[in-house]
Chains A and B, each alone.
Chain A
């Protein structure tokens, strides 16, 4: 069987609606509250089942096969294996300080900082692997044979090196880590290829360096005009109030400008990294513009504020929909060559760390 997708229609589609999602999210919220948060692993799973089931790729829906219990056990393991030792390290370094061994305490704290950075990398890799291995399309799943421990090291040193020259290498560390983890992933028999380039996003990244200058200029203008208006209204005392108010407004504007810069950068970043990804003969694309990202986050903000916080339960829905609606793919898939993944999956014990499920892609 040979499938070709050259239609004007996108290869990805989403047909969920928020009313149906609310029927899942509201009982989830209720159960999560009465179980003191424990139900949230099952809640997450139910939400994903809904989101995946209403996501179409080419001509078939996705399916989420993860289980709440997996996430729960993963959480317990993470608590036992990482947070317990870390609070012990905290105690030991306190005790060292109490004994005047400040140097050892500093070394221990620095060591645990690096270890946390390493673990963050491992966790990011495993979260992606977990999602790939729990996603079915036409009965086929994804995964990776890599455990992510090597990626942890890359994450550690690339993150640090990226920050060193005044943060100038951050775009490089972001794209090269993206490539590294996606090149280890596969779906069915085929692996993904990613070769995102940092050069293309570097221009947008430089906007962040403009921010402090912008702040200074905005503050100066706001203070002078604010002071002027204040003086006109209330003489000497009015000047002070006017300057203060002007600076407050400038700060607010600055944070807003910082948000705009971040939106511009991430819009470009996602277009670059998703656009560089291939899977066999399929090329992917992500078409969200800076304005789309701004609308998404302003929408989130308005939704949460207007519902006095309850709206946060719809954020996962909004973000998933945003992601799918802007995803593109074209190329060929040979369905009869598309066989089941042979990557190892988490069954019991060793693979349970798969459920180390924090932020995705």
Chain B
């Protein structure tokens, strides 16, 4: 089509008869389906003149936009006339081609950068975004106000109503125990859940549950103080919120927004916290016990029993660091100190009797 274009012309000077500035053209006006055929000619200024048997018109180059490339043809549109279409041969004379808008392939950004560069940049941004997303729970969790977490927890789990064991003496003993390991003004909400497993959990909303199985297994109130202090540690160090965010992020990632909070909530107990979080919670527990002059030897003995082959204890073992190592840390904390008993024998017994003596306690089947 462009036969005699080997000699470069000076684009500034124009000559309409010169074949370098004209081409065969087809167009639709965007109002009817009638096809117009004729010639497209650069007028030397900012206008493209379309001349055909069925009519002519002038289109400013500035108004033309690249539409698409198709077999041997290029389609241009007009910004001011959304359905106007100008169809020109793909191998245009260079004089005309230089006036027309450039072709686009991938979309504005990728075209500007080139495919290779764009791929590299997108990949880098994506990796950064993934990294930010993956670490978000660690830095975002502690920054979420406790009151929000409490509201969220209430919305998710509510109070457990009659599924927690209550007796007058038992409640009193638990309050006393809690006061020694949770110095904050606004205490976490602790309860003994009517479940036979040897376990304890910290739930969203500052709720800590000791399972009755664990209470029955305990040989001294100091053991319970150790476990309770540990769970309070999870709440106070914001591990619950962190784990919640992590779990929530995972569910979003894995299944879109299609999450059942039931899985989320008790996925927590199953998934547990990171080993660092467990160590932090242990440290928190030891510090509180030291302040309240509670012997950490009870907790140490608890972990030593865990390390043995008592099968009932696997639940707690699986999500926590090695019990032998933890027992050692508790023993070390006891060195050279004197302690006071945390509960009287009667109070400890009241805790043990709580679930048996509560007349209207319900079972927990719904959850576990």
Smallest Cβ-Cβ distance to A69: which chain B residue = B107
User: At the interface, yes or no: A35 with Cβ under 8 Å from chain B?
Assistant: yes
Q: Is A188's CB under 8 angstroms from B33's CB?
A: yes
Q: How far is the CA of A49 from the CA of B71 in the complex (A)?
A: 12
A16, chain B: closest CB distance, angstroms: 9
A15-B71, A83-B256 given; A138·B33 CB < 8 A = yes
Q: Does B254 contact A (CB under 8 A)?
A: no
A-chain residues with CB within 8 Å of residue B126 when the two chains form the complex: 34-36
Q: Chain B residues with Cβ under 8 A from A336's Cβ?
A: 32-34
- Interface-lining segment among B117-125, B229-237, B341-349: B117-125
**Which of A97-105, A166-174, A349-357 lies at the binding interface?**
A97-105
- C-alpha gap A194/B291 in the complex (Å): 82
Chain B residue nearest in CB terms to A59: B35
Q: Say which residue of A31, A63, A100, A138 sits within 8 Å of B110 (CB atoms).
A: A31
Tell me if B258 counts as interface (CB < 8 A to partner A).
Answer: yes
Q: Which of A86, A90, A100, A338 sits near B33, CB closer than 8 Å?
A: A338
Q: Is the CB of A61 within 8 A of B70?
A: yes
Known contacts A15-B71, A27-B106; is A139 also within 8 Å of B83 by CB? yes
**Contact status B119-A34, CB under 8 Å:** yes
Shortest Cβ distance from A61 into B: residue: B70
Q: Mark A18-62, 1 if CB is under 8 A from B, else 0.
A: 000000000100110011100100100010010001100000110
Q: Which B-chain residue is minimally distant from A92 (CB atoms)? A: B155
Q: Given A34-B123, A95-B158, A98-B157, does the pair A42, B34 have CB atoms closer than 8 Å?
A: no
Residue contact B107 to A68, C-beta cutoff 8 Å: yes
Chain A residue nearest in CB terms to B82 = A65
Distance between Cα atoms of A86 and B156 in the complex (Å): 15
**Is the Cβ of B257 less than 8 Å from the Cβ of A83?**
yes
Verify if A335 is at the interface (C-beta below 8 Å from B).
yes
Instruction: Knowing A84-B257, A138-B28, A339-B32 are in contact, say whether A98-B158 is a contact too (CB < 8 A).
Output: yes
- Enumerate chain A residues within 8 angstroms of B35, measured Cβ to Cβ: 60, 138, 335
How far does the Cβ of B115 sit from chain A's closest Cβ, in whole Å? 6
- Please give the distance in Å from A112's CB to the nearest CB on chain B: 12
Q: How far is the CA of A61 from the CA of B351 in the complex (A)?
A: 82
A360 to B256, CA, bound (A): 22
Contacts A49-B68, A95-B158, A136-B85 given; indicate if A339 touches B258 (C-beta within 8 A). Answer: no
Question: DSSP class of B's interface residues: helix, strand, loop or mixed?
Answer: mixed
Interface status of A79 (Cβ within 8 A of chain B): yes
A141 within 8 Å of B (CB atoms): yes
User: Is residue B101 contacting chain A, with contact meaning CB distance below 8 A?
Assistant: no
Given contacts A1-B34, A98-B156, A141-B83, contact A87 B259 (CB under 8 A): yes
Complex Cα distance, B259 from A83, in Å, reads 10
Which chain A residues border B107 with CB–CB below 8 Å? 42, 46, 68
On chain B, the residues within 8 Å of A316 by CB distance are none
Does A91 sit within 8 A of B, measured CB to CB? yes
B interface residues, how many (CB within 8 angstroms): 43
Q: Is B366 interfacial (CB-CB < 8 Å)?
A: yes
Interface check B31, CB cutoff 8 A: yes
Q: A42-B106, A98-B156 are in contact. Are A36 and B129 (CB under 8 A)?
A: yes
B28-62 at interface with A (beta carbon < 8 Å): 28-35
Which residue of chain A has its CB nearest to the CB of B83? A139
CB distance from B74 to the nearest CB of A (A): 11
Q: Which chain B residues numbered 351 to 368 have a C-beta less than 8 Å away from chain A?
A: 366-367
The reply on B245 being an interface residue by CB < 8 A is: no
B-side contacts of A63, CB under 8 Å = 67-68, 75, 85
Q: Which residues of chain B come closer than 8 Å to A137, judged between CB atoms?
A: 33
Interface residues of A in 317-361 (CB under 8 A from B): 333, 335-336, 338-340
Report the bound CA distance from A137 to B18 in whole Å. Answer: 33
Residue of A nearest to B109 (CB): A42
Residues of A within 8 A of B265 (CB): 94
- Find residues 61-89 in chain B having any chain A CB closer than 8 Å to their own CB: 67-71, 75, 83-85
Q: Which residues of B contact A34 (CB under 8 A)?
A: 119, 122-123, 126
The answer on a CB contact under 8 Å between B119 and A340 is: no
Pick from B85, B123, B261: contact of A139, CB below 8 A. B85
Evaluate whether A94 and B156 lie within 8 angstroms (CB atoms) in the complex, with A68-B107, A139-B85, A339-B31 already known. Answer: yes
Whole-angstrom distance from the CB of B35 to the nearest CB of chain A? Answer: 6
Give complex CA distance A99, B83 in Å.
59
Mind listing 7 A-B residue pairs with CB under 8 Å? A36-B126, A53-B70, A60-B35, A83-B257, A139-B28, A139-B83, A140-B83
Given contacts A31-B115, A36-B129, A42-B106, 6 further A-B contacts (CB under 8 A): A36-B126, A95-B155, A100-B366, A138-B33, A139-B31, A335-B35
Binding site for B on A (CB under 8 A): 1, 15, 27, 30-31, 34-36, 39, 42, 46, 49, 53-54, 60-61, 63, 68, 79, 83-84, 86-87, 90-91, 94-95, 97-100, 136-141, 188, 333, 335-336, 338-340
Q: Which 5 A-B pairs have the closest CB atoms?
A: A139-B28, A338-B33, A138-B33, A53-B70, A34-B123
Which positions in B face A, CB cutoff 8 Å? 28-35, 67-71, 75, 83-85, 106-107, 110, 115, 118-119, 122-123, 126, 129-130, 155-158, 161, 256-262, 265, 366-367
